[in-house]
Every structure is written in structure tokens, then in C-alpha cells.
Structure 1
Amino acid sequence: MPRAVVLTNPSSGKGRGARVRDDALPRLHGAGWTTTSLAGRDADEALDLARLAVAEEPDALVVCGGDGLVNIGLQALAQSDVPLGILPAGTGNDFARYFDLPLGDGAAAAARIVGGTTRRVDLARTGDRWFGGVLAAGFDAVVNERANRMSWPKGQARYNLATLAELRTFRPLSYVLDLDGVEHHLDAMMVAVGNGPSYGGGMRIAEGAELDDGLLDVVIIKPLGRMELVRTFPKLFDGTHVTHPQFERHRVRKVTVACAGIVGYADGERFGPLPLTIECVPDAVAVIA
């Protein structure tokens, strides 16, 4: 019988994680899967549990939570033969969106795992850390930093307030980019590095990025006025911002992003201050989809 380790963030999505897991397990058991259910008390313990689980070579490591827990799973699964299953239960769920997985419906997502096929996709690596989606390194990263310092309000409203607060004072940033060995000096509102196309719950900043092309999409939004930035922002949700004259994209195997005072965020997680060097690692992880 297939054996899955199910790693859950019970508090994900305001408690949705536990509910999604409890709906998914009967569907897995009914299909003949045996499961071991785990939950870490924090991100560090969850990563330890994920690595221990992968070392036992189950038929799948199934993560039940949002993009943060998916990212933890990727740290354990990268360059292994154990596939990743996803029970989406977070706020953004961008990695799950890449595979058109049912959001917030444990039974439906479990059915995809039971009946799905395994697909190997690329990951991005910086140092010893991996990400599957997009690394934010500009206005979007500054908003993340502010939001993480705020204790109120909760959820998406906190990021909306942080965005409004930063818009009042934000100015274009000075970057140095190394794109496959070619250095570029430029000013921009943001630079994003996409292995996948979206972040932030469906904002398609790297529209057109593919998970299995062996390349990263480096997106540059050149300087915009505040009102133009506000007008352009909604276009991120359908990818039509790519026609804006201040939009620029490069497809590369490796990029170094340098900008003073900016902290990079990937898959919604804090990856650390720039400069960061990111490379695409082809076929780095298997996903049940």
C-alpha cells in the first residue's frame, strides 16, 4: 500500500489547515494509503520533521498548509526521489495554483494525490535554500518587511495597510544585476526572480514563467510615479502588466541581485538581505499533480 507522511500547519489559513487535513485523511485511507500525521510546533521543528520523513523514503510527503509549509517541504525534498503532495490550506497557495489544485478542499485535493501523476519541475536555489515560486526584491519586499513588523491587523489587511504606508515615501531603488555573467546597473521599483509565475495569492508578476524550462524569469519594473504604480498594481492579477512600457524581463540560468537595504522574500518567507545569487536547478523536485 502507498505510504504518505502528512505534515500539517494546523494554524494555516486561520485554522483551515487542521480542517483540510481531517477532510483529506479519510479520502487517502479509502484509497488504500497508509498515513503518518505530523505537525511541528514551529517552522524549525516542521523542517526537522520533513527531513526525517524524507529520509524514510515514503511514497509521498504531503504538506497541508500554505506556501510557507510548501517551502519547508521543498527544503527537505529538493533533489530527492520522494514526491511532494499538496493539500492547500493557506492564504496565498501560489505553488498549489501552479498545478491547478483545489484550494481549501481537503477531500478534493486528496483525490488529486490518489489519482495524480508525478511531474518533475525546476526549483530556484540561493545558498543552501530553495524556493519554488518568486523571490521579491523591491517594493514588494519592503511591504513584506513592514507587514512583518505589524501586530495588527491580521491577514491580508495587514499587507494592504503596509502597501499604503510604503507608497507615501517609496522611491526607485538602485540595483546591480548580474544576469548570466552580464552586469547591469539600473533604477527600478522592484526586481523579482520567478521560478514560477505568481506570488501573493495570484499576483502574476512573472507571467509566462515555466516550471520546467531550466530558466529563471527576472522581472524588472522600472521607475513609476505613485499614481501610475497604483494604477498598474491590479494588472498583476491577470498578467497584463507585461505590456507596460516600464516592464522588462530577462530569462537566465543564474542571477545576482544587489540593492542596499533590501531584504529578499521568496515563497513569502524571509530569505535575507541582498545581494543574493539565485540559480535554476532543473528537475529538482517531483510533484504529484
Structure 2
Amino acid sequence: MPGEIIVLVNPAARGGRSRRLLPPVLDRLRRGGRKVSVVLGSCAADALERARVAVARRPAALVAFGGDGLVHLAVQAVAGTGVPLGIVPAGTGNDIADALGIPPRDPLAAADTVLRGRVRTVDAATVGAPGAAAGSGEWFAGVVACGFDSRVNERANRLTWPPGMAKYLVALAGELRAFRPIPFEIDLDGEVVEREAMLVAVGNTRSYGAGMRVCPDALPDDGLLDVMILGAVPKTEFLRTFPRVYRGSHVGHPAVTVRRARRVGIRAPDVIAYADGERVGPAPLTCEIVPGALSVIV
């Protein structure tokens, strides 16, 4: 895999604690005999613009050094271009890297993976307003969350304290007190399902939130999206069932339905969708798989 490696950096990953990992990663890549350049934007929009300019130069790879949020940003730049995406996980969750077989907690091993240059073609998906043209909208590689989980994200993003994952635990407790099941209308390739539900997750890969296997059987190269629907259950039952998501065994619960589709439409009141942990916007929305849209170094 000759050519330049562009490293896209999120210095705020893991609250800034990943910054110390960057120099040894860059050193490992350069010792592999590669020309390495670093892209660091002043904000997400600036970083994306810089990444797109870099990708237009047709480098050997665009490497995301950060967590799922930065991978999500990098996917906006490389999807559909044929430029390979490398991932050096340096975030809190690193779920997308884990799903693709990239060492999720060993940045130097991930850098060696980039140097070996084995490219795998996988799917990506778009999420956007209903009626949008196929392939338009915002790209995602992992999971779109709608319902209880996305409301926890909304609440957490409004908190200034505590830091890190503790913020999400505080938000979860607060949202649980206020939450009521949501009436969803879900369009699965033309078949409409109406159901009150706690949450709906649309997965190209299997997990989000640092290891929650919400769509445990999702495959990134099968041309389909996995749709997990957790129907309305009492809060006590929800609390008993929720920990099972870390093993993926929640899909055996009678309130859980898993379907597969190429195109998924979601309508629900007062629901904000999150894709790969990043805020997308309110429902209604449509998710659509784009087979083979990503080249990933694995």
C-alpha cells in the first residue's frame, strides 16, 4: 500500500487522555517507511473539510485516530471514494473498530494493522430525511439509535458535570425517571410496523456505547441493516433486561424483535436520532444501506 498516510486526529478523545498516545503511533507509522501527515481541525466542520481535501489527493489511507465519533466523521470523507479508511482506536467506546476486527485497546497494534494494508470492502449506510435520494444524507458505519438511548445522549450532552462516562450514568438515571414508551412507525422495505417501544436501533455493525451489542448478529458486509425493536416494558423489567445487551442475549427477550431490511423508515414523536454516537436530528428519518461503500484497513 504505497503512498501517503493521512492521520485525522481528535485531541479531545477520552477527555484528552489519548493525546499522549499519538506520538508513538505516528512514530510507528513513520518507522514503517511511510510518509505521514496529520490533519487536525479547529472544530468538527473544519476537520471534515480538511479531511475531504486530503482524500481528494488520493492518499494511501485516511486514518482516524480517535473514537467512534471521529470514525463517523472520517466516513463522511471516504465513503464512496475508494480511499481506504484506517482506524487507530483512541476513544472511549471504539465499537466500530472492534466490529471490524481492529484491536480496540491497542493503538500500536492498530498502527501495525494500517502498515500491513489489508483492505476489506464493507457496507456503510445513510441516514436522512424521508424521500431523500438514495445514497444522500449522512453516512454511518455503526448504529443509529432512536428512543431511550438517544434521549440519554441528549440529556448527557446538556450536562457539564460529571466528566466522561459518569455523565452518561447520571443522564441514564434521570431519563429513566421521566421516560414513557414511544409510539413508533417503522417502515421495513415497505412493510410498516406500528409499535410502542422503548427504543429502536438500526445497525450496520453490532454494538455501540462501549460494548453494548444491541444488534449482535449485524454484519458489515451483508447488504442489510439489522433493526432491533425493544417493545414497551415496565421500567423494572427494562432494568433487568438492559444489562443483557452487553452479551447480546437481550434478543431472546419476548419484548425484543429483530428484523433486517435495506431501507428503514422511522417516525416517532419527540425522538432525536444519533448515529455512531453523533447527533443526527429529529425523526422522521430514513436509513438505507449502501453495499460496498467503504474500503477499510483490517
Using structure 1 for the length normalisation, give the TM-score: 0.97
Q: Does the residue aligned with 1:123 lie in a helix, a strand or coil?
A: strand
CA distances 1:255-284 after superposition (whole Å, capped 9, x unpaired): 100101000001000000001111000000
Q: 1:269 aligns with which of 278, 281, 284?
A: 278
| Cα distance in 2 for residues equivalent to 1:237 and 1:184 | 26
Per-residue deviation, 1:99: 2.1
The one-letter amino acid of 1:281's match is V
Per the alignment, residue 159 of structure 1 pairs with 168
Task: Tell me which residue corresponds to 1:31.
Answer: 32
Give the TM-score of the pair, scaled to structure 2: 0.95
Aligned-pair CA distance for 1:154: 1.1
Listed one character per residue, the Cα deviations across residues 179-237 of structure 1 (whole Å, up to 9, x for unaligned) are: 10111211111111111110001100011000000000111001111111111111100
Residues 1:219 and 2:211 aligned together: no
User: 1:58 is paired with a residue of what secondary structure?
Assistant: coil
Q: What does 1:209-288 align with in structure 2 at a 5 Å threshold?
A: 209-288=218-297
The answer to whether the 8 A contact 1:7-1:64 is kept is yes
Structure 2 partner of 1:19: 20
Q: Which amino acid aligns with 1:165?
A: G
Asked whether 1:186 is paired with 2:187, we answer no
Residue 178 of structure 1 aligns with an amino acid whose one-letter code is D
Number of the residue aligned with 2:108: 107
Contact in 2 for aligned 1:17/1:64 (Cα 8 Å): no
Which position in structure 1 is the counterpart of 2:98?
A: 97
Stretch deviating more after TM superposition (110-119 or 76-85): 110-119
- Looking at structure 2, the residues matched to 286 and 176 of structure 1 have their Cα atoms a distance apart, in angstroms, of 33
The equivalent residue for 2:51 is 50
Note the C-alpha offset of 1:40: 1.0
CA RMSD, 1 decimal: 1.1
In 2, Cα distance between equivalents of 1:19 and 1:34:
21
2:163 aligns to what SS in structure 1?
A: coil
Contact conserved, 1:20 with 1:87, CA < 8 A, in 2? Answer: no
Report % sequence identity: 48
Q: Work out whether 1:173 is the aligned partner of 2:174.
A: no
1:110-141 Cα offsets, whole Å, 9 max, x none, are 11111241001111102321001110001001
**Gaps spanning 5+ residues in structure 2: where?**
129-136
8 Å contact from structure 1 (residues 20, 105) kept in 2: no
Q: CA deviation at 1:171?
A: 1.2
Residue aligned with 1:86, SS = strand
Q: What is the rounded CA distance, in whole Å, between the counterparts of 1:109 and 1:253 in structure 2?
A: 31
Letter in 1 for 2:108: A
Q: Which runs of 5+ in 1 are unaligned?
A: none
Q: Give the SS at the match of 2:178.
A: coil
2:132 aligns with none
16-25 or 90-99, larger mean C-alpha shift: 16-25
Q: Provide, for residues 18-41 of structure 1, a one-character-per-residue CA deviation record: whole Å limited to 9, x for no partner.
A: 222211111111111111112111
**C-alpha separation in 2, matches of 1:104 and 1:48:** 28
Partner of 2:157: 148
